[in-house]
Amino acid sequence: MKKLLLLMAGWLIAACAISQNQNPQDVYKKLEEIAIIDQKVMMPMRDGVRLATDIYRPKGNAKVPIVFSRTPYNFNTWIDGEMRTRTLEAAIEAVERGYAYVVQNERGRFFSEGEWDILGTPLTDGYDAFEWMSKQPWSNGKVGVIGCSSTAEWQMAVASLKHPALAAMVAQGYGAGVGKVGEFYEQGNWYRGGAQQMLFTAWLYGTQNDKFRPTLPKDITQQDLIRIQRFYDMATEMPRQDWSQALQHLPVQDIIKNVNGQEGIYENMIRRKPNDPAWFTGGLYHDTMPMDVPSYWFVSWYDVSSGPNLALFNHARNNPNKEIANNQYLVIAPTLHCAFKRATENTIVGERSVGDARLNYDELTWGWFDLQLKGEQNDFKKTTPRVQYYTMGSNKWQTSETWPPENAVMTNYYLTSKGNANTRNGDGKLVTKVPSSDKPDTFKYDPMNPVKSHGGNVCCTGNAVQGGSFDQSEMELRNDILVYTSEPLKEGIEVSGFIESMLYLSSDVKDTDITIKLIDVHPDGKAYNLDETIQRVRYREGYDKEVFMEKGNVYRVKLTPMSTSNYFAPGHRIRIEVSSSNFPRFERNLNTGGNNYDESKGVVATNTIHHSKKYPSVLRLPIVKK
């Protein structure tokens, strides 16, 4: 687990080109030559808590802008008794470009004082950091923030406080900071469609602080902190877990307890419903909050949160202040979570090659900062498209002024069958006309034998789920997966945007889940997943209430949108899988109508998908017209 956290700490700044073969002492010596190094500065917050901060700034008397990285991860330059260069290399790049680089731990993490909560509440910590940095004699008064994953997710909510020093954001893989935006009601990736995303169970095991976490004396000096960082960095060494087994434990509220994990915030968070007031008091950004900061957004197709991330970009673009709206830019890469720079000449995501997906992220990032923090009249806006997105299948970067592209037209594909869509050998089809009669498809969903996650748009689940695109054809032989497939395409089509789906369901239980997976079927039969979604049926009428089903009734269920950009070449087929589980990507619904988080036994559900003129179950694809 510690190695996992070190890897995630390497995402502190996307522009950091990691040179694995450099001698750490040489890297530090180079930094000493060009920078004033001020480590373990204890930056005071308004309540007296001090946050551990390392500052690297150019030598001389010039006032410089600040690139700020705030993180729950370990950025210490000494780890396991050895000097590490990730933070130092990031600092060198910033200093050489005329910036101060400041990296800070959230409260309660490592050397920072206070009690940690997810996203570093209180929210005012970020504001207070901007205030302190902008008032330093070496600061030009402007701060830009950068990071990926948990190093980015705090940025949006703090930006809503409108500190005048915050002049630019570079947010990458930031979905766990998005509470509610548009159709997405995920509360920081905790939910999708009201079903828990299990990534946080594994992530919090290695991240949350135990109630007996050791702390340092309040009066410890900066000199002592610098001295002891060489051999003591407050990093918890968690025993490794086989999450493919550990996540199967019931009840889910006891999963971390069952592996003798730290006692922390998980046990409280797992009990929250999607509309719990606690989601609206911490560090999550909701679309009722201001978003007035020029921002460069970076999204990945195989990340856990591409949908809400894209919705947040659109929300920022809809700012009535046109100056702010026109200072929003977006990149969408065909990679896993925070893996932008791992794209190669032949980028493999899971099992699927998506071609040469490289992009010059360094120049894009620093060009943006130079424009916003230094006021340089560079050519960023002339040469940088509003939206740069990668289309898989055709394997090329494309540009657009909007997302989805303006020429994307929503096109209906209706589900139909002769009543036997079970497995890929069944008769389920996707057609462009509404079927005339209802010959519904039925399957049994047993929560004790759920459909296993195979690839997907995931993060942080250890060995439980490997992210990316994998051939689903063997999975599609399960009888509890309904498979609906188009005829082979005579002409290729590009699908780019939000994919909508609406199904009609009946069941013999009070509550269940509906899952959908979007598939690109190749002529050889290989079926590669593009995105997936889920809806807990009790929340079909909204997340402020639970409405249970009654046997014999048919219910309209609209699922949370999926997102992709994929070219379905001639001869390929469009497919969806419909089921009631995708585990452990998502928590199992035990079908009882109970809390689910505190239950250990489930019941088998008989679920039926209807498709007819009366019940037009449909997939809506954004097809780009050329």
DSSP string of 203-256, one letter each residue: HHHHHSPPTT-----TT--HHHHHHHTTT------PPP--HHHHTT-SSGGGHH
Query: How far apart, in whole angstroms, are the C-alpha atoms of residue 84 and residue 242?
Result: 28
Residues 433-468: pLDDT tens digits?
A: 999 877 999 999 999 999 999 999 999 999 999 999
Q: Is the pLDDT of residue 2 over 50?
A: no
Residues 526-540: pLDDT tens digits?
A: 999 999 999 999 999
Mean pLDDT of 488-501: 98
Query: How far apart, in whole angstroms, are the C-alpha atoms of residue 348 and residue 357?
Result: 10
Question: pLDDT at position 24, please?
Answer: 87
Mean pLDDT of 493-517: 98
Chain mean pLDDT for the chain: 94
Question: pLDDT at position 555, please?
Answer: 98
Mean pLDDT of 267-286: 94
For residues 535 and 552, the answer to whether their CB atoms sit within 8 Å is no
End-to-end, the C-alpha distance of the chain in Å comes to 48
Per the model's pLDDT, the better-predicted residue between 21 and 39 turns out to be: 39
Question: pLDDT at position 332, please?
Answer: 98
Query: How far apart, in whole angstroms, are the C-alpha atoms of residue 365 and residue 281?
Result: 31
269 in helix, strand or coil?
Answer: helix
Residues 341-390: pLDDT tens digits?
A: 999 999 999 999 999 999 999 999 999 999 999 999 999 999 999 999 99
Residues 551-583: pLDDT tens digits?
A: 999 999 999 999 999 999 999 999 999 999 999
Nearest partner of 180 among 278, 286, 309, judged by Cα: 286
| Secondary structure (DSSP) of 39-56 | EEEEEEPTTS-EEEEEEE
Query: How far apart, in whole angstroms, are the C-alpha atoms of residue 626 and residue 621?
Result: 15
Q: Which of the four pLDDT bands, split at 50, 70 and 90, describes residue 121?
A: confident
Query: How far apart, in whole angstroms, are the C-alpha atoms of residue 494 and residue 407?
Result: 11
129 in helix, strand or coil?
Answer: helix
Residues across the chain: 626
Q: What angle do CA 577, 580, 586 make, to 5 degrees?
A: 100
Q: Is the pLDDT of residue 20 over 80?
A: no
Helices (H), 19-119: 24-34, 86-96
Residues 596-615: pLDDT tens digits?
A: 999 999 999 999 999 999 99
Q: Which of the four pLDDT bands, split at 50, 70 and 90, describes residue 252?
A: very high
Question: pLDDT at position 4, please?
Answer: 39
CATH 3.40.50.1820 residue ranges for the chain: 2-343+355-391
DSSP 151: G
Instruction: Kindly give the pairing relationship between strand 513-521 and strand 618-624.
Output: unpaired
Burial pattern 377-391, b for ≥16 Cβ within 10 A else e, equals eeebeeebebbbbbb
For residues 583 and 457, the answer to whether their CB atoms sit within 8 Å is no
In what order do the strands lie in the sheet containing 166-172? 35-44, 50-58, 100-105, 64-71, 139-148, 166-172, 295-302, 328-336, 387-391, 396-400
Query: How far apart, in whole angstroms, are the C-alpha atoms of residue 148 and residue 459?
Result: 12
- Please state, as a whole number, how many other Cβ atoms lie within 10 Å of the Cβ of residue 434: 16
CATH 2.60.120.260 residue ranges for the chain: 408-624
Kindly state the percentage of the chain with pLDDT values over 70: 97
Q: Is the pLDDT of residue 35 over 90?
A: yes
For residues 34 and 62, the answer to whether their CB atoms sit within 8 Å is no
Query: How far apart, in whole angstroms, are the C-alpha atoms of residue 394 and residue 412?
Result: 23
Question: pLDDT at position 21, please?
Answer: 59
Question: pLDDT at position 172, please?
Answer: 97
Picking from 80-84, 288-292, 394-398, which range would have the lowest pLDDT averaged per residue? 80-84
Q: Is the pLDDT of residue 84 over 90?
A: no
CATH number of 2-343+355-391: 3.40.50.1820
Q: Is the pLDDT of residue 19 over 90?
A: no
**408-624, CATH topology level:** Jelly Rolls (2.60.120)
Instruction: Dump strand ranges (E) for 489-593.
Output: 493-507, 513-521, 527-536, 555-558, 562-568, 573-579
Which residues face 353 on adjacent strands? 348
pTM: 0.95
Question: pLDDT at position 85, please?
Answer: 87
For residues 440 and 609, the answer to whether their CB atoms sit within 8 Å is yes
